[in-house]
Structure 1
Amino acid sequence: MNKWKQTLLQNRIEILASENLNRLYTDVISEDALKFVATLHREFEGQRRRLMEDRIRVQASIVDSLDFVLVQDPKTFEIRQDPHWTITHEIPAVIADRKVDIVCLDVANRDALNACVKSGACGVQVDFDDGYAPTWENGLRAQKNIYDVVQGGQQQQGKDALLIMRPRSWNLIEMHMLVDGQPVSGGLFDYGLFMYLNAKQLIKTNRGPFFYIPKLENYQEAQLWNRIFMFTEQHLGLPTKSIKCIVLIENILAAYQMEEIIYYLRDYIVALNTGRWDYIFSFIKKFSDSPDHVFPNKSSLGLDQEFLQAYYHLLVKTSHRRGCLATGGMAPQYPTANQSSLCEKDKLAVFNGKSIEAAMGFDGGLVAHPSSVDACRKAFDKVIGQNRLNNLQTSSNNKKKNSNSNSSNNRLLGYSPIEAKKYLDQLIVMPKGIVTEQDVRGCVYVLYNYISHWIKGQGAVPMNGVVEDLATAEINRALLWNWIKNNVELNESTDKKVTIQLILNLIKHQFFYNNNNNNDFNNDPITKILLTLITSQSFIDFMPTILYPLITNIQINSNL
């Protein structure tokens, strides 16, 4: 038994993966780095598990009450009503410009990460969540790529994009690392390695550490991240409040607690960010047992829908009221297989979409490809110019100085309690639209192809000029499940409905299109997975619950 493994075992840490692979990444999974992850696990895993149990209880209460109404938490009334508080820090200049971040959709690919860093974007969302399939090898390669960029010392301030890490969400685990016999949280594993390996160098060069925090469902989960940040700074000897984060509001429950989320992360947060597809997915999931919540086709779920307009406006108003920035979603346009850059039509689509967000008050947005960066930046430059942050911080400072005038404080940041109440009421207005057979076919196409790539270790997949990731796959899956459960009629005919048989026929067509030399449809594993996901009696919370075991490569040393 080698010394590395023996030392880990003495600390009740086990790595259940290929020793040959592990040897290639000893600088990433060093004894001390893994000990730090284990320390995080022992300190916070119990709290994480309780929060996951709370999610189950909340979901059960929604399912058990068909007339369940989402409301703000009465226990935090005073936080929401107090007009005086804002985040406790000025947003650091290095992360103040959020006009365009690019999502690195293949962090395990060195060239892809470097292209994003050199793209001209403000930041790179280093995505270990929606655009990532968490194989053990992907995780090691991704952490190594980040480490080399940070430690290489060749990043140019003001030119190269910041690395902003997005760890896995709270519900996911890392099966290849056990601490005291338990698998560690995927998010804590990603976060812990990143911080141990890179935090001090990022602080030294004034480039971090910065995070995108995904899929929070309530302020209690924000409190957990706050405790983790504080603990990390103390344990690693970092300056207090040196960590900064952007929180993704991509769950309908979190939309009712945006102020509380900011409040409990007020020492660290710089922005709230939208995640439209994850947000709609959460809407379908939370009300999965309600016959009153039948959703139309995906193309109908745009910003002309009242519930999405309310979500966007409320996020902007809330962020600015409390001294934060607000950033929009990701433009999914992506070059087709025979292109290296977007065509002018697609660049214009990015520009137009981001111009709408800028007009709504957002301070920036995200893109999926380097050739989208200029279009996104120009959209925000045209609408908001260079001074949005200065205006935000000046208003926030004036607000603190004039704390006796509540109405004037709210006006400084364009916040109206009456308007906010209107948006809250609109958050649960059901979208309008139809469902056609072509819509069903489109969902099957995306879901079938995405699953087939994900289980091979690819978490983001270009399809038909856009990039599909876990968020878009989940919305396709949720819509199919929703339509089957509610026996939805297709728009073309009053006597044709969305049934399992219809979807099975479409899956079969997709199978033969993808596998023209393979006639063994009855044993197709992708079909079996897809049917499991869309025909379950109760809605399956997240696709990785089913898919993750298929990409683990557990190897147990016979000497143990």
Structure 2
Amino acid sequence: MAMMGMMSRVPILGDHTPTPPISRSIGGSGGCYEVPEGVEVRGRFDEEFTRVLTREALEFVAGLEREFRRRIGYVLECRREAQRRYNAGGLPGFDPAARIVREGDWVCAAPPPAVADRKVEITGPVERKMIINALNSGAKVFMADFEDALSPSWENLMRGQVNLKDAVEGTISFHDKARNRVYKLNDQTAKLFVRPRGWHLPENHIHIDGQPATGCLVDFGLYFFHNHATFRTTQGAGFGPFFYLPKMEHSREAKIWNCVFERAEKMAGIENGSIRATVLIETLPAVFQMDEILYELRDHSVGLNCGRWDYIFSYVKTFQGHPDRLLPDRVLVGMTQHFMRSYSDLLIRTCHRRGVHAMGGMAAQIPIRDDPVANEAALELVRKDKLREVRAGHDGTWAAHPGLIPAIMEVFQTNMGNIPNQIYKVKREDAANLTEEDLIQRPRGVRTMEGLRLNTRVGIQYLAAWLTGTGSVPLYNLMEDAATAEISRVQNWQWLKYGVELDGDGLGVHMTKELFGRVVEEEMARIEREVGKERFKKGMYKEACKIFTRQCTAPILDDFLTLDAYNHIVVHHPKGSSRL
């Protein structure tokens, strides 16, 4: 998909030197969105989107943007300053100034009864059929994802908002014409959580006072504005809406979210603490801030989650300047690694000490329908991982596919009995002795040519799908999203930067640009064979290869793969807004 049109330099929030986005103007259907003063909608007009892009909703989003834009810019600069310290040889650790918070006896607000039981949660993008199937899946919670599982095109984001509005109202349906089947909600459904994008991602299709809006404020603002009243009617005060908050690195970021929640509650005229959120601990700096993050959100918190794939990505990113902390093949970086197990144990202790849920990590396996033996072997790996989690004290866990839910639910119910969670059952006082070194201990394992090849295949195929609108991709019997693609990218970058020796075929070979270039060529040929020539020709594999290769070989590691790639999916409409 060639990008046509005028090149313009649009500042990405929090980034002083952005890659210029490629803007395209496309014809509309003759309509335009009604917007308040200072707001411009540059996305394609669609009559369906006017249900969520109302003047009042956009005014609410603009109010959030104007109040919090400077604070968001500040915390992003704090991230960059911390990374400069790590690059100079510094290590992350506990903040001595926050010791009084860590040692205090405070607790968070009690979890609402509606979400006291979260044994199994399923996640997925805000696609209409996916929402229905996930809510009907038998899971306790469905996390509808605007972040790692979604390619943030204008159509995906706005259609996702429409889909969620219909889901909250209970009217959502989907007619699968190919199967001649209509999908509707069951009487009993999972509780709905929504994950907005991280602070770092802009929404370049909505400009406020001449600048791109903050992506997460658009996601949160539109969803909250249109659905908070329905939650109040159906579940009562303090019972939602519910959110997952991604990519935090410091409690100052949690404090901003708490202020956003308080402002939203005040605007809506609902009680403080009605909004509840779980924070994903998926960056290495955040593991040293878990008490402080919960403290800032204590009236709005329903716990923390082990976002372990992004956490592995963050380990490499944090230690990009440390040649003594190289990761082995990504398949070897599991919860048996000491730094990963320590992170999980400390999260459980911290959450239970503060009276909230400690959620486990993602089971990324998907059913292998044409090989029962391989499918049972994969399910057994899932069962073992979930048995480890429940015995460690986790209150629930994540699944990427509905087919995993019965097996996971059986493990948690068998080991927990009739109680909804383990908050008051498992205290994990042994984790109080974990040190900073436990949390950053060097991972062990080999680095291989096959690991390099898998990283390259997965990264390119995922990015090709992302560029064409799909953010959650089944590859090699696993569900890949942006987090796993990030591991592939930064691991390749790290190995190349330090010229690591790769094991394989009995001979060691050092990673070089020439070797990587050859591997890319060979893996592109393999991808073409696997997907077929026609699909390969029609897809964006070559564009994805260019982006992925450029990021793996860049002298300075980009913060996020999706920041660069986002500029390739921005499509501007020439006359999207009107003011009345």
* TM-score (normalised: structure 2): 0.86
Aligned counterpart, 2:22: none
**Which of 40, 48, 68 is the matching residue for 1:44?**
68
The verdict on how the C-alpha distance between 1:506 and 1:93 changes in structure 2, with shifts beyond 3 A counting, is same
Task: For 1:352 and 1:159, locate their aligned partners in 2 and report how far apart those are by CA, in whole Å.
Answer: 29
Q: Does 1:370 align with 2:388?
A: no
Aligned counterpart, 1:16: 42
Bigger RCO of structures 1 and 2 (CA < 8 A, at least 6 apart): 2
Task: For 1:557 and 1:41, locate their aligned partners in 2 and report how far apart those are by CA, in whole Å.
Answer: 22
Aligned counterpart, 1:128: 146
Q: CA deviation at 1:511?
A: 2.2
Q: CA deviation at 1:224?
A: 0.6
**Which of 122, 135, 152 is the matching residue for 1:102?**
122
Aligned counterpart, 2:103: 81
Aligned counterpart, 1:475: 487
1:272-421 matched pairs, under 5 angstroms: 272-336=304-368, 343-387=375-419, 389=421, 392=423, 413-416=427-430, 419-421=431-433
Task: Note if contact 1:200-1:238 (Cα within 8 Å) is conserved in structure 2.
Answer: no
AA paired with 1:47?
R
Task: For 2:523 and 2:185, locate their aligned partners in 1 and report how far apart those are by CA, in whole Å.
Answer: 46
1:221-300 matched pairs, under 5 angstroms: 221-300=253-332
**Which of 145, 149, 152 is the matching residue for 2:170?**
152
CA shift digits 1:290-340 (9 cap, x unpaired): 111211111211122111110010101111111111010110111358699
Task: Note if contact 1:174-1:184 (Cα within 8 Å) is conserved in structure 2.
Answer: yes
**Which of 494, 497, 516 is the matching residue for 1:503?**
516
Task: Note if contact 1:100-1:123 (Cα within 8 Å) is conserved in structure 2.
Answer: yes
CA shift digits 1:461-504 (9 cap, x unpaired): 00111100000000011110111011111123555112222222
CA shift digits 1:190-242 (9 cap, x unpaired): 00010011111012111630001111101000101110111100012122211
Task: For 1:107 and 1:80, locate their aligned partners in 2 and report how far apart those are by CA, in whole Å.
Answer: 37
AA paired with 1:161?
A
The secondary structure found in structure 2 opposite 1:205 is helix
Aligned counterpart, 2:94: 72
AA paired with 1:92?
P
AA paired with 1:91?
P
Task: Note if contact 1:351-1:378 (Cα within 8 Å) is conserved in structure 2.
Answer: no
Aligned counterpart, 1:438: 450
Task: For 2:571 and 2:33, locate their aligned partners in 1 and report how far apart those are by CA, in whole Å.
Answer: 21
The secondary structure found in structure 2 opposite 1:392 is coil
CA shift digits 1:82-122 (9 cap, x unpaired): 2x2111x2211110101000002x312x1111000000100
Task: For 1:310 and 1:157, locate their aligned partners in 2 and report how far apart those are by CA, in whole Å.
Answer: 40
Task: Note if contact 1:451-1:526 (Cα within 8 Å) is conserved in structure 2.
Answer: yes
AA paired with 1:44?
F
Task: For 1:62 and 1:317, locate their aligned partners in 2 and report how far apart those are by CA, in whole Å.
Answer: 27
The verdict on how the C-alpha distance between 1:6 and 1:81 changes in structure 2, with shifts beyond 3 A counting, is closer
The verdict on how the C-alpha distance between 1:336 and 1:533 changes in structure 2, with shifts beyond 3 A counting, is farther
CA shift digits 1:343-365 (9 cap, x unpaired): 44433332221111111111110
C-alpha RMSD of the superposition: 2.6
The secondary structure found in structure 1 opposite 2:247 is coil
Task: Note if contact 2:119-2:140 (Cα within 8 Å) is conserved in structure 1.
Answer: yes
Task: For 2:191 and 2:34, locate their aligned partners in 1 and report how far apart those are by CA, in whole Å.
Answer: 35
Aligned counterpart, 2:467: 455
CA shift digits 1:124-144 (9 cap, x unpaired): 010111111000000011111
Aligned counterpart, 1:199: 228
CA shift digits 1:510-544 (9 cap, x unpaired): 32334465999xx9322211111101111110001
Task: Note if contact 2:148-2:483 (Cα within 8 Å) is conserved in structure 1.
Answer: yes
The verdict on how the C-alpha distance between 1:136 and 1:163 changes in structure 2, with shifts beyond 3 A counting, is same
Q: CA deviation at 1:2?
A: 11
Which runs of 5 or more residues in structure 2 are unaligned?
Answer: 1-27, 173-183
**Which of 525, 531, 547 is the matching residue for 1:512?**
525
Q: CA deviation at 1:277?
A: 1.4
Task: For 1:339 and 1:167, locate their aligned partners in 2 and report how far apart those are by CA, in whole Å.
Answer: 36
**Which of 538, 555, 576 is the matching residue for 1:537?**
555
Task: For 2:511 and 2:409, locate their aligned partners in 1 and report how far apart those are by CA, in whole Å.
Answer: 42
Aligned counterpart, 1:402: none
Q: Does 1:220 align with 2:252?
A: yes
Aligned counterpart, 1:185: 214
Task: Note if contact 1:250-1:279 (Cα within 8 Å) is conserved in structure 2.
Answer: yes
Aligned counterpart, 1:116: 134
Q: CA deviation at 1:413?
A: 3.0
Task: For 2:375 and 2:319, locate their aligned partners in 1 and report how far apart those are by CA, in whole Å.
Answer: 40
The verdict on how the C-alpha distance between 1:185 and 1:309 changes in structure 2, with shifts beyond 3 A counting, is same
Q: What percent of counterpart residues are identical?
A: 34
Task: Note if contact 1:336-1:463 (Cα within 8 Å) is conserved in structure 2.
Answer: no
Task: For 1:75 and 1:535, locate their aligned partners in 2 and report how far apart those are by CA, in whole Å.
Answer: 39
Task: Note if contact 2:345-2:428 (Cα within 8 Å) is conserved in structure 1.
Answer: no
The verdict on how the C-alpha distance between 1:488 and 1:505 changes in structure 2, with shifts beyond 3 A counting, is same
AA paired with 2:233?
K
Task: For 2:469 and 2:61, locate their aligned partners in 1 and report how far apart those are by CA, in whole Å.
Answer: 24
Task: For 2:101 and 2:443, locate their aligned partners in 1 and report how far apart those are by CA, in whole Å.
Answer: 31
Aligned counterpart, 2:438: 426
Farther off after superposition, 24-33 or 120-129: 24-33
Task: Note if contact 2:249-2:285 (Cα within 8 Å) is conserved in structure 1.
Answer: yes
Task: For 1:32 and 1:4, locate their aligned partners in 2 and report how far apart those are by CA, in whole Å.
Answer: 18
Task: For 2:571 and 2:343, locate their aligned partners in 1 and report how far apart those are by CA, in whole Å.
Answer: 40
Aligned counterpart, 2:178: none
The secondary structure found in structure 2 opposite 1:134 is coil
Task: Note if contact 1:293-1:430 (Cα within 8 Å) is conserved in structure 2.
Answer: yes
| Aligned pairs, number | 529
Task: For 1:558 and 1:385, locate their aligned partners in 2 and report how far apart those are by CA, in whole Å.
Answer: 55
Q: CA deviation at 1:5?
A: 4.9
Task: Note if contact 1:448-1:507 (Cα within 8 Å) is conserved in structure 2.
Answer: no
Task: For 2:114 and 2:444, locate their aligned partners in 1 and report how far apart those are by CA, in whole Å.
Answer: 42
The verdict on how the C-alpha distance between 1:356 and 1:287 changes in structure 2, with shifts beyond 3 A counting, is same
Which runs of 5 or more residues in structure 1 are unaligned?
Answer: 396-411
The secondary structure found in structure 2 opposite 1:169 is coil
Task: Note if contact 2:149-2:482 (Cα within 8 Å) is conserved in structure 1.
Answer: yes
**Which of 192, 206, 209 is the matching residue for 1:163?**
192
* TM-score (normalised: structure 1): 0.89
Task: For 1:118 and 1:536, locate their aligned partners in 2 and report how far apart those are by CA, in whole Å.
Answer: 44
Task: For 1:423 and 1:162, locate their aligned partners in 2 and report how far apart those are by CA, in whole Å.
Answer: 36
The secondary structure found in structure 1 opposite 2:309 is helix
Between Structure 1 and Structure 2, the one with more helix by share is: 1
